[in-house]
Structure 1
Amino acid sequence: MKHRRISRKRVAIAGSAVTAMVVAGISFQTANASEDTPAVTAKTLSAPAAGKLASSLADDLAGDTAGSYYDSKTKALVVNVVDEKAAETVREAGAKAKVVAHSLAELKDARGSLTGKASTPGTAVAVDPVTNKVVVTADSTVKGAALNKLTKAVQKLGAKAELKKTAGEFKKFIAGGEAIHSGGGRCSLGFNVTVGGAPHFITAGHCGTAGSSWSDSAGGAEIGSMVDSRFPGDDFALVEYTGSADAPSAVDLYDGTTQEITEAGDPTVGQSVSRSGSTTQVHDGEVTALDATVDYGGGDVVEGLIQTTVCAEPGDSGGSLFAGTTALGLTSGGSGDCSSGGETFFQPVPEALAAFGATIG
């Protein structure tokens, strides 16, 4: 049987899709927070280097940290700590210390009280290290009794939490990107990967179920079959290419070029990121939160998402979030568009790779 060769253009759609919105980290501090004075000089770092240092310090300081973020203006890592002893450790490592009122454990407990059984459809809940608060973002569908109940729950947490409203409606994005099709649905390819040496690609879990057939055009011949899909809870899926395939690890930049992808990694709050999709092509933004929990309604709650200010529109689900040569996320959903902005959420790529035993780059 003669196998169909997938064009490099088609599978470089390793970069499609994404979401949209704005919830940029707010720069004001909590009443009891204090930052280092200008006399304290922190190392100038790239965002990836800051992320590695943040991970190292989190291990060293354990419960004495309250999160961290990348200051893109000064190109320094800012680490929240709960006492001066921990602050000294941070400074010695070359980062900027900020003594804050709430520990990370306290903020996670506060977030936990707003998710799970108490989750409200149309909301996103995440710890914001910039403000040292749990930020709850409610979309336009949250109103009346539901909004009153949510407002009281947030107020009960006092200075630990803040409620924001956003225009539009949080929803899963289906249709678009340099598209992949299944039945009447359309999503975007995230990144090409290999599993056991065989070519596959990853996309959003809400795009389809295990066993579904996928093509690179509406009504076209099959290019792959979905091996596994994880949604809700997570939002990622694995599709195995049918026969042989030329599957480069690259993202389409929509200017006749592609961005090579060599690895997967985790972003840092404050880091600049990009996403690619056929609906609105390539747009940039900033990571505003990690480990966000989003309730899309109907029992579809997804945890552990990356929250960003990158704009996007329906049609970008499953597409790629990246920074340079590093794959970061798969488009899960969000609200707004590229005219008004909004919130965008991405499934972290490393978690998907680990679940499937896949490699990238």
Structure 2
Amino acid sequence: MSHKRIPKRRAAIAAGGVVALGAAAILLPNANASQDGAADDATPRTLKAADASGLSTRLAAALGDSFAGSYYDSAGQRLVVNIAGSDADAVLRARKAGAAVRQVGNSTGALKSAARTLKTEATIPGTSWAVDPRTNKVVVTADSTVTGAQWSRLQATVRGLGSGMATLKKSAGTFKTFAAGGDAIFARTQGGTVRCSLGFNVTASDGSPAFLTAGHCGVSAAQWSDSQNGGPVATVDQATFPGSDLALVTYDDPATQAPSTVDVGNGQSVRINGAAEATVGATVFRMGSTTGLHNGTVTGLDATVNFQSDNGGVDTVTGLIQTNVCAEPGDSGGPLFTQDGGAVGLTSGGSGDCTRGGETFFQPVTTALEATGASFGAGTDAAGATEQQSDTGQSGAQQSGAGGHHSGPAYGSGRGRTH
């Protein structure tokens, strides 16, 4: 039977100023302390992660080439800024702004040059790389499929960059897109049923209600339903994969209500206040209908991932957020968000699972909004979604079937593969 609208409990996002979330009882982060080694005499400001992101953006613009990245020290609640070389003026300005300072050897330009070398010489299926400001290096990861001559080629490329510029590590899993989903959405293709996750509700540029999800889901099917056997309720407006991994899907019913909440299971929801930039070291939360609510830490920005394509080639996606939050097939497109209600990313793919852990990558929400012309439309809060708190909630607890959907097998990926 065809449904006319996604129910109000759907994972969502809307306009509004950033306010305190007030749902800490269901989001209890297990934050990892960052290594800082800050060599400054001043006392850095105590900051929330969102405020640290804003300070980092301002300092990056003010310090120019001397700025070599930053990260959030969640244990000390401070922003740590890397200053390349011995620019005393840049060090002083960063300290006066309230940041802790580290003087490092690799500039942002040098790190980007290393990433370009990797793109040219080591675009191999099953590899990824991202700058880690905590080590001031490019961290290169190879999944379990990178063996033999490809592994030797990757090792040689990383060695050529130098031990002070790049490090190489192995992942036990396989990099793959996680299609199969906060709340599940479904589509029918020639290869079977595809299942993904709704990310955040937005307003399309023409004022229509819409939602963001993963691009590899959007390119696999034009129409999507809110139940496995239901009729279509939304149609893909734009989808990009590879290159980026984002899609804008508009609701077929223009009266669809899109509350600014993320459904985290057990009748609980978290209010989302707007888009937020990711900050390395910050605690983030991911919701998916396969694995429920999990938290972890942002470990890298501007990450490049080389997924294995259907034809044996490479589907390269750039500009991603790298985290240690687990995910599994079925979580693609789902929301990555902060405890204070910021919409950070859309689940793309990664390796591992929620038993062993692994790396997971996310399309930044800010990039998705810019690419699609969508926005957090005024009035989406009018649906009246409420926040609910739990005295016994646990972050990282598996909550299959979140939002009333039954957990089930991973159907196809966003491109018709099965995992």
Q: Same fold by TM (over 0.5)?
A: yes
Q: Letter of the 1:281 partner, please give it.
A: G
Say which of 182, 190, 209 aligns to 1:199: 209
Is the 8 Å Cα contact of residues 34 and 75 (structure 2) preserved in structure 1? Answer: no
Say which of 270, 279, 284 aligns to 1:268: 279
Measured after TM superposition, the shift of residue 115 of structure 1 is 1.4
Structure 2 residue 243 is the aligned partner of structure 1 residue 233: yes
**What pairs up with 1:145-294 in 2 under 5 angstroms?**
145-158=149-162, 159-176=164-181, 178-183=183-188, 184-195=193-204, 196-209=206-219, 212-243=222-253, 244-294=255-305
**Runs of 5+ unmatched residues, structure 2:** 14-31, 378-419
**What pairs up with 1:76-115 in 2 under 5 angstroms?**
76-82=78-84, 83=86, 84-115=88-119
Is the 8 Å Cα contact of residues 210 and 228 (structure 1) preserved in structure 2? Answer: no
Is the 8 Å Cα contact of residues 13 and 178 (structure 1) preserved in structure 2? Answer: no
**Runs of 5+ unmatched residues, structure 1:** 15-23
Q: Letter of the 1:318 partner, please give it.
A: G
Q: SS at 1:81's partner residue?
A: strand
Per-residue CA deviation, residues 80-126 of structure 1 (Å, 9 max, x unaligned), is 00223311111111101100011010011011100146311101111
Q: Using a 3 Å threshold, how does the CA distance of structure 1 residues 325 and 349 change in structure 2: closer, same or farther?
A: same
Per-residue CA deviation, residues 307-329 of structure 1 (Å, 9 max, x unaligned), is 00111111100000001311110
Name segments (4+ residues, structure 1) moved above 3 Å. Answer: 24-27
- Aligned residue number for residue 57 of structure 1: 59
Per-residue CA deviation, residues 52-97 of structure 1 (Å, 9 max, x unaligned), is 1110000000101110000011111100002233111111111011
- Aligned residue number for residue 307 of structure 2: 296
Measured after TM superposition, the shift of residue 134 of structure 1 is 0.6
Per-residue CA deviation, residues 291-322 of structure 1 (Å, 9 max, x unaligned), is 00000023210000000011111110000000
Measured after TM superposition, the shift of residue 4 of structure 1 is 2.2
Is the 8 Å Cα contact of residues 25 and 130 (structure 1) preserved in structure 2? Answer: no
Structure 2 residue 51 is the aligned partner of structure 1 residue 35: no
Structure 2 residue 341 is the aligned partner of structure 1 residue 341: no
Measured after TM superposition, the shift of residue 255 of structure 1 is 2.6
- Aligned residue number for residue 328 of structure 2: 313
Per-residue CA deviation, residues 145-191 of structure 1 (Å, 9 max, x unaligned), is 11111001101111100001111100011113521011021100011
Q: Using a 3 Å threshold, how does the CA distance of structure 1 residues 25 and 67 change in structure 2: closer, same or farther?
A: farther
Q: Letter of the 1:56 partner, please give it.
A: R
Tell me how far apart the structure 1 counterparts of residues 293 and 221 of structure 2 sit (CA, whole Å): 31
Tell me how far apart the structure 1 counterparts of residues 264 and 305 of structure 2 sit (CA, whole Å): 28
Structure 2 residue 373 is the aligned partner of structure 1 residue 357: yes
Q: Letter of the 1:215 partner, please give it.
A: S
Q: Letter of the 1:205 partner, please give it.
A: G
Tell me how far apart the structure 1 counterparts of residues 220 and 140 of structure 2 sit (CA, whole Å): 33
Per-residue CA deviation, residues 117-138 of structure 1 (Å, 9 max, x unaligned), is 6311101111110000010011
Is the 8 Å Cα contact of residues 68 and 82 (structure 2) preserved in structure 1? Answer: yes
Per-residue CA deviation, residues 321-343 of structure 1 (Å, 9 max, x unaligned), is 00131111000000101111000
Is the 8 Å Cα contact of residues 290 and 331 (structure 2) preserved in structure 1? Answer: yes
Tell me how far apart the structure 2 counterparts of residues 340 and 59 of structure 1 sit (CA, whole Å): 39
Q: Letter of the 1:54 partner, please give it.
A: S
Tell me how far apart the structure 1 counterparts of residues 362 and 271 of structure 2 sit (CA, whole Å): 20
Per-residue CA deviation, residues 12-39 of structure 1 (Å, 9 max, x unaligned), is 367xxxxxxxxx8973x8xxxx7315x4
Tell me how far apart the structure 1 counterparts of residues 38 and 264 of structure 2 sit (CA, whole Å): 39
Measured after TM superposition, the shift of residue 209 of structure 1 is 2.5
TM-score, with length taken from structure 2:
0.79
Q: Letter of the 1:12 partner, please give it.
A: A
- Aligned residue number for residue 132 of structure 2: 128
Is the 8 Å Cα contact of residues 123 and 295 (structure 1) preserved in structure 2? Answer: yes
Quote the RMSD (CA, aligned, Å).
1.9
Is the 8 Å Cα contact of residues 182 and 263 (structure 2) preserved in structure 1? Answer: no
Q: SS at 1:222's partner residue?
A: coil
Measured after TM superposition, the shift of residue 197 of structure 1 is 2.1
Q: Using a 3 Å threshold, how does the CA distance of structure 1 residues 25 and 166 change in structure 2: closer, same or farther?
A: farther
Tell me how far apart the structure 2 counterparts of residues 154 and 3 of structure 1 sit (CA, whole Å): 52
Q: Using a 3 Å threshold, how does the CA distance of structure 1 residues 187 and 116 change in structure 2: closer, same or farther?
A: farther
TM-score, with length taken from structure 1:
0.91
Tell me how far apart the structure 2 counterparts of residues 26 and 3 of structure 1 sit (CA, whole Å): 47
Q: SS at 2:219's partner residue?
A: coil
Is the 8 Å Cα contact of residues 210 and 248 (structure 2) preserved in structure 1? Answer: yes
In the alignment of these two chains, the number of paired residues is 344
